Structure 1
Amino acid sequence: MTDRDALLRLIDDERSRIVQTLCDLIAFPSVVKADPTTAGPGEADCQRYLQARLERLGMTTDLWEPDGPALLEKYRGRPGAHEGRTFDGRPNLAGRLAGNGAGRSLLLTGHIDVVPPGPPEHWNTDPFVPTVRDGRVHGRGAVDMKGGVACMLMAVEFLREAGLTLKGDVVFATVVDEEIGGMGTLAMVDRGIRADAGILTEPTANRIAPICHGILWGRLIVDGIGGHAELTPNSWDSTGPVDAVQLVRHVLHGIDMLNARWRTDPRKNHPLMALPNQVIVTQLKVGEHPSSIAGRGEIVIDVQYLPHEQDALLTGGHVRREIEAHVAAICQSDPYLRKRPVRVEWILDADCAEVPADHSIVTTMQAATRAAGNDPTLDGFGAHSDMGLPTSLGQTPTVNFGPGDPAYAHQPNEQVPVGDLVACTKALALSLMDWCGVDD
């Protein structure tokens, strides 16, 4: 039996430990707060648990609370740099298992923050009491992305237990803040944590995704003129009232027209992405009182962009200006909005990246995933992930690869198949062997 065969058999025989590790992680309610200055109740505890596991493996570790204001000043205007971030009680974690220096290093990374679970009545189980049922692990973070974090930890543990010593270093990093912008990953890269290549274990259904979308969040503010809803208006454009609900409908129609064009625009499509870039309306707030004509409306949008659309700062500046120009054109088509145009406020710009399909980390992973029983066909990660910062700023070409259907992310009754966890752990362990090399 070869070393590889013995390793794969060990993982199959000890699959329950992968499941238990994921259950341990889910039990920490590491919920990211809407207020980025406030720590989630389980963020630090989750990182300390992981730190103890890494140190038992012989890794040197670094647990630190990033300096948000200092990072903002250093990287203002760049991806991941956001106003108002503090990390009190929200530490990042890094570990390094040194090889013998004769091989390439590999970064395994992920985030431990999770989104709030939402109304408890939407769940069939307690979101922070992990449940294993019908071959699946249920709980908040099971797929996004504590499943991936559990797999990358267990891949290293199984390599050690199989008596395999790697030539190259294994670098392990888990961050906070991903779900509200990615400043935790910026802090990781700024800390100097990098490698010759990286794997980000976001859920991809165990498909290798060497590209992700960039994301813009924006707020469109539409001003009408309030008035009594049941009385005859004086004028439609001067003394009012002018219904902001109708104006918002006009803007929404204009967004629909833009999306229709983007569906067939080559600049807005990529062969690895299942869907074209779109402007997705995620929030609406219109009006002030049940019997008053709405005086103001707000439309929150989520806009996707591709790596080839990035500006010189690797942000979505070109796409921001494209949206602003389209909103201005919408306003020109309405007499009232020509005088009181819609205002665009940008909330967040989360960057993107693409690693070439023929890069050695991609081909190495394809061979490893095939050997682990997964489909080696490349795919695109339709949402944003943190792969951009280590790839561009950290000079660590990083791909997405992790267990579970990403459609379960952020949903109630989030879940991941145990079979996905096992297959992912195998693929990661084999990737470490092939990329870093094994010391005879």
Structure 2
Amino acid sequence: MSTALANLVDERKDELKQLLSDLISFPTVSPPARNTSEIQKYIADYLEKLDFQTERWDVFPNDPNLVGMKKGTQSDTYNSLIINGHIDVAEVGDASGWSVPPFSLTEKGKHLYGRGVSDMKGAVACALFAAKLLHEEGIALKGDLQLQTVIGEEVGEAGTLSCIEKGYDADFALVVDGSNREIHGQGGVITGWVTVKSKQVYHDAMRAELNETGEGASAIEKMTKVIDSLRALEKEWAKTKEYPGFKKGTTTINPAVIEGGRHPAFVADECRLWITVHFYPNEDYREVANEVEEYLKQSVKDDSWFQENPLLFEWGGKSMIEDRGEIFPSAEVDPEYPAIKLLEQSHYAVEQETTSVSMSKTVTDAGWFDDAGIPTAIYGPGKLNEAHSVDEKIELEELIRFTKTLLTFIPAWCNVTKQ
């Protein structure tokens, strides 16, 4: 990046702040969601003025994805890049705990405050501003540049998956979610429902007889065996599984919600357990789900009641709101992949210090790119402890430096020939 371009970011930082202020003013909280049409139109108008071709489509009603594409001059032979960010934000709840208006950007000292400044409208503003400066300074890209602003990440809605299903692809995908400007991969998360369901329904007055004959059982009582088995599997994983960057035992199975029974006059004929499973970056969510299923089936194979009433499983979903389920695939990062090396170099060129290649403590949409075979990494401004917090904040200087890093990385990557 030229000194002149770096100076432009400093000189026009008020423009970056105004852009972020505009984005924060759209209350795109999720849940309840279904509220992103206006912000996506704002971003589309912004990108179209920079000669991006845009496409919007509803993933859910009034919740569209947006992809802005600027074709490179030699797209077939030079690297393409996706910059991906979600434009929904965490719910605010009782705003009386905030010292500033959540949806009005407030500057205090070196910090900017507002819902989404760290998670992750600050990063989206930086990407948009970087695209504007590249355009205005006439810096040509030989490879394609995509800017994706997606919906639903806060509630497990697969906005990024929808982009992939539409065929959007690249040689590298940079998810600019908050990582404190470290380069991150991630483990994964999948939720599932385990159901114990009896084929027979009995009156509560039959319980003594059922206890005597063993012909019936309470689904709630049977579920306790399932819960014990899940705990045993979690302990087994803690001993047998590991991955660099994670402490032992990070692969967890959380029995999060339980629902069961009809009425006190019935022996419970159904019980449902909602579980959350965390797994390592080198594991596939489909295989993890199958591992849980097979373990539970084996754990009850000697119980004759379960032979007549087998366990039922439902996994994942494209929306925590619509499906009561979600999937966040894991993402491994290859430190030797050219885009990762170049991102490290770009960071150093701006920061004059190295960044680390490590693992996120949380999950983002990066896993969908890895699952689709697109090399990816998480790299963005903002600290995890600010995400979802009261009085969410970020340092303006962090946004300025991140913008400069993007201005270094984008033309460097998109002007390198494909391998």
TM-score range, shorter-chain basis?
Answer: 0.7 to 0.9
Structure 2: segments with no counterpart, 5+ residues:
318-326
Check conservation: 1:118, 1:412, Cα contact below 8 A.
no
Once the 2 structures are TM-superposed, how far is the Cα of residue 124 of structure 1 from its aligned partner?
4.8
- Looking at structure 2, the residues matched to 403 and 29 of structure 1 have their Cα atoms a distance apart, in angstroms, of 21
What is aligned with 2:37?
44
What is aligned with 2:347?
369
Of 133, 156, 175, 1:200 maps to 175
Check conservation: 1:65, 1:89, Cα contact below 8 A.
no
Q: Aligned runs of 1:117-156 on 2, under 5 Å?
A: 117-120=92-95, 123-133=98-108, 135-156=110-131
Check conservation: 1:29, 1:40, Cα contact below 8 A.
no
Of 134, 137, 144, 1:159 maps to 134
Distance 1:189 1:317, change over 3 A: closer
What is aligned with 1:71?
none
What is aligned with 2:232?
257
Distance 1:63 1:328, change over 3 A: same
In the alignment, structure 1 residue 303 sits paired with structure 2 residue 277: yes
Of 4, 7, 10, 2:5 maps to 7
- Looking at structure 2, the residues matched to 7 and 249 of structure 1 have their Cα atoms a distance apart, in angstroms, of 63
Q: Aligned runs of 1:248-327 on 2, under 5 Å?
A: 248-266=223-241, 269-273=242-246, 276-285=250-259, 297-306=271-280, 308-310=282-284, 316-327=285-296
Distance 1:346 1:411, change over 3 A: farther
What is aligned with 2:387?
409
- Looking at structure 1, the residues matched to 413 and 381 of structure 2 have their Cα atoms a distance apart, in angstroms, of 20
Per mean C-alpha deviation after superposition, the further-off stretch among 290-299 and 412-421 is 290-299
Check conservation: 1:387, 1:399, Cα contact below 8 A.
yes
What is aligned with 1:433?
411
- Looking at structure 2, the residues matched to 25 and 195 of structure 1 have their Cα atoms a distance apart, in angstroms, of 26
Q: Aligned runs of 1:23-42 on 2, under 5 Å?
A: 23-32=21-30, 40-41=34-35
What is aligned with 2:55?
63
Once the 2 structures are TM-superposed, how far is the Cα of residue 23 of structure 1 from its aligned partner?
2.6
Once the 2 structures are TM-superposed, how far is the Cα of residue 47 of structure 1 from its aligned partner?
0.7
- Looking at structure 1, the residues matched to 222 and 122 of structure 2 have their Cα atoms a distance apart, in angstroms, of 44
Of 153, 161, 183, 1:178 maps to 153
Distance 1:294 1:150, change over 3 A: farther
Once the 2 structures are TM-superposed, how far is the Cα of residue 103 of structure 1 from its aligned partner?
4.7
Q: Aligned runs of 1:384-423 on 2, under 5 Å?
A: 384-391=363-370, 393=372, 396-423=374-401
What is aligned with 1:381?
360
Check conservation: 1:91, 1:176, Cα contact below 8 A.
yes
SS in 2 for 1:8: helix
- Looking at structure 1, the residues matched to 257 and 395 of structure 2 have their Cα atoms a distance apart, in angstroms, of 32
Check conservation: 2:188, 2:329, Cα contact below 8 A.
yes
Q: In the TM superposition, what whole-angstrom CA distance separates every residue of 1:252-299 from its partner, at most 9, and x where no partner exists?
A: 343333222222323xx3214456322233334456679999775432
Give the partner amino acid of 1:95.
G
- Looking at structure 2, the residues matched to 329 and 412 of structure 1 have their Cα atoms a distance apart, in angstroms, of 46
Check conservation: 2:191, 2:276, Cα contact below 8 A.
yes
Once the 2 structures are TM-superposed, how far is the Cα of residue 172 of structure 1 from its aligned partner?
1.4
Give the partner amino acid of 2:412.
D
Distance 1:127 1:288, change over 3 A: farther
SS in 2 for 1:65: strand
- Looking at structure 2, the residues matched to 26 and 12 of structure 1 have their Cα atoms a distance apart, in angstroms, of 21
Distance 1:62 1:424, change over 3 A: same
Q: In the TM superposition, what whole-angstrom CA distance separates every residue of 1:174-212 from its partner, at most 9, and x where no partner exists?
A: 122434445432332344433332211111111112x33
TM-score computed with the length of structure 2 as normaliser? 0.80
In the alignment, structure 1 residue 212 sits paired with structure 2 residue 186: yes
Q: In the TM superposition, what whole-angstrom CA distance separates every residue of 1:133-175 from its partner, at most 9, and x where no partner exists?
A: 4533333333332222112112222334555444433221212
- Looking at structure 2, the residues matched to 227 and 427 of structure 1 have their Cα atoms a distance apart, in angstroms, of 68
Give the partner amino acid of 1:271.
P
Give the partner amino acid of 1:322.
E
What is aligned with 1:78?
none
Q: In the TM superposition, what whole-angstrom CA distance separates every residue of 1:42-90 from its partner, at most 9, and x where no partner exists?
A: x11111111121123x222223215xxxxxxxxxxxxxxxxxxx53332
Q: In the TM superposition, what whole-angstrom CA distance separates every residue of 1:228-264 from its partner, at most 9, and x where no partner exists?
A: 89xx9666585888483x6555543433332222223
SS in 1 for 2:316: strand
In the alignment, structure 1 residue 96 sits paired with structure 2 residue 69: yes
Of 332, 335, 354, 1:357 maps to 335
* RMSD, aligned α-carbons: 3.7
- Looking at structure 1, the residues matched to 104 and 215 of structure 2 have their Cα atoms a distance apart, in angstroms, of 57
Check conservation: 1:213, 1:385, Cα contact below 8 A.
no
- Looking at structure 1, the residues matched to 364 and 161 of structure 2 have their Cα atoms a distance apart, in angstroms, of 12
- Looking at structure 1, the residues matched to 95 and 254 of structure 2 have their Cα atoms a distance apart, in angstroms, of 27
TM-score computed with the length of structure 1 as normaliser? 0.76
Distance 1:370 1:292, change over 3 A: farther
Give the partner amino acid of 1:260.
K
Check conservation: 1:207, 1:375, Cα contact below 8 A.
no
What is aligned with 1:20?
18
Distance 1:291 1:152, change over 3 A: farther
Q: In the TM superposition, what whole-angstrom CA distance separates every residue of 1:338-394 from its partner, at most 9, and x where no partner exists?
A: 76555332233443333421000000001111222264210123433323444453x
Give the partner amino acid of 1:399.
A
Give the partner amino acid of 2:236.
R
Give the partner amino acid of 1:24.
D
- Looking at structure 2, the residues matched to 164 and 59 of structure 1 have their Cα atoms a distance apart, in angstroms, of 13
Per mean C-alpha deviation after superposition, the further-off stretch among 118-127 and 213-222 is 118-127
Once the 2 structures are TM-superposed, how far is the Cα of residue 109 of structure 1 from its aligned partner?
1.5
